[in-house]
Structure 1
Amino acid sequence: MALWLPGMRITADRLNGMVGDWQPYIPAWYADGATTSLGNGSLDGRYKLYGKTCEFALRLEWGTDTTTTVEAAYWEFSLPMAPSAVQGNTWQPVSCWLYDASAPARWNATGYVNATTGRITAIVAHADGGYIDRGEMPSQTPVGSTLQPAGVAWAAGDRLNIWGNYETV
């Protein structure tokens, strides 16, 4: 059935019918060659579909007993829907935001939807090009502060937010 037919009027009900509601999902957290433990931290996500476009957001908040042994490993997070590798686009960029609660300091970063694995991977901080997916936050200038010293360990209250959209299968 066609969504729009000639002569149809745009109404709130029709527009609302085109866009799904936000749905919760629980992302999985992976570390290549290492282990992670959420402990009393939190990891949650949500998504909605616009046709074959999936818009999503996820948040990892470090708890007092959250741990990882990922000093040199990649972090990856599961997606709510399988991504498409349309036209060979197997790496679709998404936005990330890191928050160091103790400073407080914030960083922008970029992650990628990997259509081959179906995960978000290779989260890179913009200023130094270093991966944040390890036991420390990046060394760069945070928003509204001075240069953050290298080697700031993840601690309780620190957050990683990832959001974006991608084409689904």
Structure 2
Amino acid sequence: MPTTDAYGQGVQIAALTDAPNMATAAFNLADPIVQRTIMRFASASARNATLTSPVEGMTTWLQDVNTLEIYDGSGWRQVFYGATAWSAYTPTWTATTTNPSLGNGTLVGSYLITGKICHVSIMLTIGSTTNKGSGAYRISLPVATANTSCPGVLGASFSRSGSPNHGPGDSPLFANANSTDDIWFPNITVTGDYDVWTESVPWSPAAGNVFRVYGTYQTA
């Protein structure tokens, strides 16, 4: 009867009393060892097609995106192993009443995920043909926030040619959210007062105005 390795990893080692069977002996050695190595796959889809029932602790390298990931029992999580390039994404700008449209404005975003942490940077530039819509503005996130009471708070800022020409703000995030919630900016006429960012607060967006949202939050 085979014995197991001394490290509790489930590797079966043939005993001298076992009936000779090289194929079984080789499989019993290779299969558990391969599971505990860094397995290489062309892509996440190729990995998922092969590892249909992954086990907690399995580690894989995805060749198409050059990422190292570990299965934590519920999903594959990227391992931060050094300097990693940020990924670009195209955010969506919406409003609670009528959605705005960019026209010739621009909206760009980039993000970096390390484990269950997402670092994100978003920049909206108002164009001359941008339609500002109406209601409280929202901007989509690259990945959903965690199911927790306080997944994070993102910073925000505006820049423009008028007075004031710059100001800080913030956006508390909610659980299981795919976008920011209310984004708060200082009231430009009442010192110490903050208002939710809309088509008219802190002012009506004009061509050349730049709005940024940035920071770190917990992911699902």
TM-score per shorter chain, which class? 0.7 to 0.9
Aligned pairs for 1:148-167 within 5 A:
152-167=203-218
Considering fraction of residues, name the structure with more strand.
1
Residues 154 and 215 of structure 2 are in contact (CA less than 8 Å); yes or no, is this contact kept in structure 1?
yes
Matched residue type, 1:55: H
Residues 76 and 119 of structure 1 are in contact (CA less than 8 Å); yes or no, is this contact kept in structure 2?
yes
Unaligned 5+ runs, structure 1: 3-14, 139-151
Using the size of structure 1 for normalisation, the TM-score is: 0.73
Select 1:36's aligned residue among 79, 91, 100.
100
- Counterpart position of 2:8: none
Report the Cα offset of residue 30 of structure 1: 1.0
Change (3 A) 1:19 1:113: farther
Aligned pairs for 1:3-42 within 5 A:
17-42=81-106
Residues 20 and 49 of structure 1 are in contact (CA less than 8 Å); yes or no, is this contact kept in structure 2?
no
Tell me which of the two structures has the higher relative contact order, counting C-alpha pairs closer than 8 angstroms and 6 or more residues apart.
Answer: 1
Using the size of structure 2 for normalisation, the TM-score is: 0.57
Change (3 A) 1:16 1:93: closer
Unaligned 5+ runs, structure 2: 1-35, 38-78, 187-191
- Counterpart position of 1:131: 196
Q: Percent identity?
A: 24
Report the Cα offset of residue 97 of structure 1: 0.5
Residues 19 and 50 of structure 1 are in contact (CA less than 8 Å); yes or no, is this contact kept in structure 2?
no
Q: How many residues align?
A: 139
1:105 has 2:165 as partner: yes
Q: C-alpha distance in 1, partners of 2:176/2:144? A: 10
Q: Which has the larger radius of gyration?
A: 2
- Counterpart position of 1:68: 132
Residues 100 and 154 of structure 1 are in contact (CA less than 8 Å); yes or no, is this contact kept in structure 2?
no
CA RMSD of aligned residues (A): 2.2
3-state SS, counterpart of residue 36 of structure 1 = coil
Runs of 4+ in 1 over 6 A off after TM superposition: none
What does the per-residue CA deviation read over 1:102-129, in whole Å, with 9 as the maximum and x for residues that have no partner? 4461011111223243211211124312
